[in-house]
Amino acid sequence: MKKVLMLSSVASMIEQFNMRNLELLHSIGFSVDVACNFDKENTISLERIKRFKRDLDALSIKYYQVDFARNAFNLWQNKKSYKQLEKIFKQNVYEFVHCHSPIGGLWGRILACRYDTKAIYTAHGFHFYKGAPLINWLIYYPIERVMASCTDVLITINKEDYNRAKEFKAKKVEYVPGVGVAVEKFANHTVDKEAIRKALSVPADAFVLLSVGELNKNKNHQVIIRALAKLNNNNAHYIIAGRGALENEIKALTTSLKVEKQVHLLGYRTDIADLYKMSDVFCFPSKREGLSVALMEAMASGLPCIVSDIRGNTDLAENGKGAYMVKPTDIDGFSEKIKKLLDDADLRNEFGLINTNTVKRFESRHVMMYMKKIYEDRII
């Protein structure tokens, strides 16, 4: 049986976004190994990591711990992870390797070249993009351009990245619309809204804004908190599902703006579908995205959205049709759009219906058709 290696810097990247690919590879007759960092820098809980390993065991997938760092400048850790990954390549003969994340993609493709192994690389949003900091262009752009020559299939998940990647020298560049979303699962999900709000200490009649994402600079939750403060409406509440290094900083901001009773930091959650259904508006102010799963889930759940006007988000929604698009730093813009949706229930319903219909183009089964074709036509 032919063997494949799926690798990423962190286990959460594979568990959250690639389980369907693992199942697909398994279903078309490949033996699959996984290499990633299970121990550190993951965005999911320790219990979920344990469950992920059990899921891999159930699929007869062998997995390896590789001490990848998420920071490209952690030279010692990156050298260590390269040696660990090299050992895996020496011990196995792979038909191809499917790489994810910048560092995983770099080491995976270098070793694939060394060991005459075909390489697929999925770019989940290049770090260089329109409006990106100059340092991103200076570091990541030349690396990706050079490494494209070691790539049999370069997969991009938004149109901006696809158009840029076509300038590179990968053997094949493909556009795949993200990792997909189970539209019916979120659209048909039902909850006791009042009970959930009560459990979260949110008033039953509150106007609830929701964001889902790690508490880091890129997710930019602070701009919604500042917009909420400008709104000056005690009945508006902001819920954030996610954990991260900026938790204390965000708490301090809510206190300084006197909205600490209106902002709810939930930490890591496993009931995201419930949270979508008990909320009124989804807010997504990220500075950078590839093609957001959270935004797709919110759209499938029928939520109107207020999102940053960035690559990826513009692939999913159109300004004024299901979502309002606002510059990531525009606090006044976010506050104005929140108020507009708060004041108009009919508009919220209209936006929600548009989103439920629009997101069907990104249904999981469509994405799996793309991936099956790539795995079979380009590799086998």
Claim to verify: residue 230 and residue 344 sit in the same structural domain? yes
Host domain of residue 188: 183-362
Residue 208 near residue 279, CB atoms below 8 Å: yes
Mean pLDDT of 250-278: 96
Do 304 and 209 share a structural domain?
Answer: yes
Q: Are residues 164 and 191 in the same domain?
A: no
What confidence score (pLDDT) does residue 76 get?
A: 82
**pLDDT of 155 over the 60 cut:** yes
The beta strands (E) that lie in the chain are given as 3-10, 31-37, 62-65, 96-100, 118-123, 153-156, 173-175, 207-212, 236-241, 263-267, 281-284, 305-308, 318-319, 322-326
Query: Residue 345 belongs to what H/E stretch?
Result: helix 345-358
Whether the pLDDT of residue 356 is over 60: the answer is yes
pLDDT at 54: 94
Return mean pLDDT, the chain: 94
Q: Is the confidence at residue 14, as pLDDT, over 80?
A: yes
Q: Examine the domain organization and report whether 202 and 167 are in the same domain.
A: no
pLDDT at 73: 74
Encode pLDDT of 109-145 as tens digits: 999 999 999 999 999 999 999 989 999 999 999 999 9
Which has the closest alpha carbon to 104: 116, 121, 129?
121
What is the residue-wise DSSP string for 74-108?
-HHHHHHHHHHHHHHHHH---SEEEEESHHHHHHH
Shared domain for 47 and 152, answered yes or no, is yes
Residue type, position 12, single letter: S
Higher-confidence residue of 48 and 157: namely 157
According to DSSP, the residues that pair with 211 across neighbouring strands are: 240
pTM to 2 decimal places? 0.90
Q: Which of 327, 315, 375 is nearest to 157 (CA)?
A: 315
pLDDT at 44 exceeding the cut of 80: no
Same domain, 45 and 159: yes
* Secondary structure percentages of the chain, helix, strand, coil, to 5: 50, 20, 35
Average pLDDT for 256-276:
96
- Same structural domain for residues 173 and 285? no
Tell whether 263 and 369 lie within a shared domain.
no
Domain shared by 20 and 104, yes or no:
yes
Please report which confidence band the pLDDT of residue 379 belongs to, taking 50, 70 and 90 as the band edges: low
- Strands, E, within 213-257: which ranges? 236-241
Half-sphere exposure of 328 (CA within 13 A, CB side): 15
Supply 25's token pair.
């590879």
At a CB cut-off of 8 Å and minimum separation 6, what does 290 contact? 123, 124, 125, 157, 158, 161, 178, 312
Q: Which tens digit of pLDDT belongs to each residue from 53-88?
A: 999 999 899 999 999 887 777 778 889 999 999 999
Angle at 258 between CA 257 and CA 264, to 5 degrees: 100
- Could you tell me the CATH number of the domain that includes residue 226? 3.40.50.2000
158-211 per-position pLDDT tens digit: 999 999 999 999 999 999 999 999 999 999 999 999 999 999 999 999 999 999
pLDDT over 70 percentage in the chain: 99
Alpha-carbon span 249 to 296, nearest angstrom? 28
For the chain, the domain total comes to: 2
Contact 152, 96 (CB under 8 A): yes
| pLDDT in the model for residue 71 | 74
34 and 65 assigned to the same domain: yes
Structure tokens at 319: 């300004």
pLDDT-derived band of residue 1, with 50, 70 and 90 as boundaries?
confident
Q: Is residue 355 a contact partner of residue 303, using CB atoms and an 8 Å limit?
A: yes
Is residue 176 located within the same domain as residue 188? Answer: no
- Are both 209 and 343 inside the same structural domain? yes
